[in-house]
């Protein structure tokens, strides 16, 4: 049912005795040019009891009535869909909050996917996303956790009511428009010191949605729709592939130089995790990979280890999984000093196991707690940064320690294919894109080397002719 609402005239005049606004009691309102017209209407919103919308500044009663008629027409777009009607109410409030114009019917359809096309009995976007997710048995637990969060917190609340086969580019763009509105509201509310007003946001923790997260949202939707296109007779095309978001901006990598790496390794040589940090800084293992190293994976003859397990922390739970990708399963070589330190660590672990007796948890882990239990990766990272601060070094993250290893390897002129294999990247392209700054340094050094060679040649005596 469309709201009724009223239109009335008011002004800013005040009672000369009390100083209070006269509102509708001002005698001057009888004049045609005194005061402006205001609309007052109660509309349904996602707030439980709905909200009262009061918007003024209309120069004539006719213009005020026209605005009220427009609001009624916009709300009628929802037909009998209660949720869509409330979402339209939210959009009207947001659009007109600071004197903005009412949204058009086209904008309502684009933003919220409502109108005549909503009535078609079809599998909804929400139903398809849940069906698709249930069928993705190939996903790692950490990836599934990320997909589930994206689906539940963004895609279903903002697109879920639409018929699967009616989803358009405009609907998807409208979703990102709404996310952009959330971001603007979060920034404004923080500046003004007030609570957030975020229509349709079901997240418990209201955070700014960065461009990297937006790319993941689009990638999840695109993956689900690409699979739908592959099913005979389901869909003809994937609208998500036609949406273009601003590019992700990568922050400059913070890395240590060779002297700083050496300083940190010396400072943590006697620490329980000192060898773990050494392996990350010299060989570039991921945090989960180094926490998941097992004694059975060591190759004592060749001085290296197979990377076949990773320890993850998912919603506070520690789980073991396979590496991030097929390329993540690899063999990594260790230097002679590291191999000797590993032998000493094995002797220490045997002593700990004997001392723990029946309390020992057998996981065959090189790096573990004193009872053999897996390390908590987040605590390993926190400890790394604490040691960096104590050593008087710039505090970087453990993942930036991995970047440090890659940077040192590339600056040592190692072949990029070898470095890519060492890091577990699926292609050298990933390595090249991540370490563009290092390649520039190498190319500059190569250019300088050519000049030095030419300079040396120019100072040599010319060959004599016979």
Rounded Cα gap, residues 210 and 219, in angstroms: 14
pLDDT score of 119: 36
Q: Within a domain: residue 41?
A: yes
Rounded Cα gap, residues 168 and 236, in angstroms: 12
Rounded Cα gap, residues 12 and 36, in angstroms: 9
> Of 242, 274, 292, which closes a domain?
242
| One domain, residues 71 and 177 | no
Rounded Cα gap, residues 416 and 425, in angstroms: 11
> Of 186, 214, 242, which closes a domain?
242
| One domain, residues 301 and 435 | yes
E strands, 261-379, in order: 298-299, 304-307, 310-314, 317-321, 330-333
Rounded Cα gap, residues 306 and 336, in angstroms: 17
Q: Which helix (H) or strand (E) segment is 108 a member of? A: helix 105-112
Rounded Cα gap, residues 61 and 256, in angstroms: 69
| One domain, residues 324 and 224 | no
Rounded Cα gap, residues 26 and 34, in angstroms: 10
Q: Closest by alpha carbon to 118, among 162, 82, 74, 84?
A: 162
Q: Within a domain: residue 461?
A: no
* Helix spans in 193-250 (H): 211-230
> Of 38, 69, 102, which closes a domain?
102
| One domain, residues 38 and 148 | no
C-beta of residue 34 within 8 angstroms of C-beta of residue 43: no
C-beta of residue 110 within 8 angstroms of C-beta of residue 125: no
Listed in sequence order, the residues at least 6 apart from 369 whose beta carbon sits closer than 8 Å to its beta carbon are 375
| One domain, residues 343 and 399 | yes
Q: Within a domain: residue 453?
A: no
Strands 330-333 and 317-321 come out as: unpaired
Q: Within a domain: residue 184?
A: yes
Q: Within a domain: residue 90?
A: yes
Q: Which helix (H) or strand (E) segment is 6 a member of? A: strand 6-10
pLDDT tens for the chain, residues 1 to 466 = 567 888 888 888 888 888 888 877 888 888 888 888 888 988 888 776 778 888 888 888 888 888 888 888 888 888 777 777 888 888 888 778 767 788 888 777 766 655 434 333 468 899 999 999 999 988 888 888 899 999 999 999 999 988 898 899 989 998 999 899 999 999 988 988 888 888 888 888 889 999 999 999 999 999 999 999 998 888 999 999 999 999 877 666 788 989 999 999 999 999 999 999 999 999 999 999 999 999 999 987 778 999 999 999 887 889 888 887 777 788 999 999 999 999 999 999 999 999 999 999 999 999 999 999 999 999 999 999 999 999 999 999 999 999 899 888 888 877 788 888 888 887 777 777 666 555 555 556 666 666 767 776 654 555 544 4
| One domain, residues 265 and 220 | no
Q: Within a domain: residue 129?
A: yes
pLDDT score of 252: 66
| One domain, residues 191 and 305 | no
Domain containing 12: what range? Answer: 6-102
What are phi and psi for residue 361, nearest 5 degrees? -100, 115
| One domain, residues 284 and 152 | no
CATH of residue 434: 1.10.443.10
pLDDT score of 117: 41
| One domain, residues 413 and 298 | yes
CATH of residue 183: 1.10.150.130
| One domain, residues 285 and 328 | yes
C-beta of residue 55 within 8 angstroms of C-beta of residue 39: yes
Q: Closest by alpha carbon to 417, among 399, 403, 430?
A: 430
- The widest CA-to-CA distance across the chain, in whole angstroms, is 118
- Number of domains within the chain: 3
* Helix spans in 302-415 (H): 336-356, 377-390, 398-411
Q: By three-state DSSP, how is residue 118 classified?
A: helix
Rounded Cα gap, residues 24 and 12, in angstroms: 10
pLDDT score of 52: 84
Rounded Cα gap, residues 37 and 11, in angstroms: 9
| One domain, residues 233 and 264 | no
Which two three-digit tokens encode residue 268? 């943590």
Strands 298-299 and 304-307 come out as: antiparallel
Q: Residue 27 CB: number of other CB atoms within 10 A? A: 9
Cα(first)–Cα(last) distance of the chain, in Å?
Answer: 107
| One domain, residues 417 and 302 | yes
Q: Within a domain: residue 113?
A: no
C-beta of residue 200 within 8 angstroms of C-beta of residue 128: no
Q: Between vectors from CA 188 to CA 172 and to CA 57, what angle results, nearest 5°?
A: 90
Q: Within a domain: residue 463?
A: no
């Amino acid at each position: 049912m469309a709201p009724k609402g009223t239109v009335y005239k008011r002004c800013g005049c005040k009672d000369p005795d009390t100083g209070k606004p006269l509102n509708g009691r001002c005698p001057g309102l009888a004049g045609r040019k005194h005061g402006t017209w205001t609309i007052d209407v109660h509309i349904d919103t996602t707030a439980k009891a709905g909200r009262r919308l009061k918007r003024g500044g209309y120069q004539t009663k006719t213009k005020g009535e026209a605005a009220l008629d427009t609001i009624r027409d916009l709300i009628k777009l929802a037909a009998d869909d209660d949720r869509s009607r409330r979402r339209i109410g939210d959009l009207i409030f947001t659009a007109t909050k600071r004197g903005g114009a009412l949204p058009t019917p086209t904008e309502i359809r684009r933003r919220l996917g409502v109108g005549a096309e909503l009535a078609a009995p079809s599998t909804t976007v929400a139903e398809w996303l849940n069906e698709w997710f249930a069928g993705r048995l190939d996903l790692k637990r950490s990836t599934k956790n990320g997909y589930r969060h994206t689906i539940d917190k963004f895609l279903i609340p903002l697109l879920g009511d639409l018929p699967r086969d009616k989803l358009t580019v405009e609907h998807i763009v409208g979703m990102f428009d709404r996310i952009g509105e959330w971001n603007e509201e979060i920034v404004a509310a923080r500046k003004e010191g007030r609570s957030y007003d975020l229509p349709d946001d079901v997240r418990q923790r209201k955070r700014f949605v960065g461009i990297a997260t937006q790319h993941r949202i689009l990638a999840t939707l695109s993956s689900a729709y690409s699979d739908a296109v592959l099913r005979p007779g389901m869909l003809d095309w994937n609208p998500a592939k036609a949406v273009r978001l601003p590019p992700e901006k990568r922050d400059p990598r913070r890395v240590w130089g060779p002297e700083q790496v050496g300083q940190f390794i010396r400072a943590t040589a006697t620490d329980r995790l000192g060898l773990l940090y050494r392996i990350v800084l010299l060989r570039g293992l991921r945090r989960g990979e180094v926490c998941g190293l097992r004694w059975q994976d060591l190759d004592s003859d060749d001085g290296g280890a197979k990377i076949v397990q990773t320890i993850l922390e998912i919603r506070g739970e520690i789980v073991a999984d396979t590496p991030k990708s097929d390329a993540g399963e690899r063999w990594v070589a260790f230097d002679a000093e590291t191999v000797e330190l590993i032998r000493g660590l094995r002797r220490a672990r045997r002593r700990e196991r004997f001392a723990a007796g029946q309390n020992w948890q057998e996981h065959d882990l090189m790096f573990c707690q004193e009872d053999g239990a897996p390390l908590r990766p987040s605590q390993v990272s926190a400890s790394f940064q604490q040691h960096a601060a104590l050593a008087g070094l710039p505090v970087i993250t453990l993942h930036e320690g991995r970047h440090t290893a890659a940077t040192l390897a590339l600056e040592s002129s190692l072949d990029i294919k070898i470095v890519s294999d060492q890091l577990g990247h699926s292609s050298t392209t990933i390595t090249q894109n991540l370490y563009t700054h290092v390649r520039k340094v190498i190319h500059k050094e190569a250019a300088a080397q050519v000049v030095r060679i030419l300079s040396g040649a120019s100072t040599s005596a010319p060959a004599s002719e016979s």
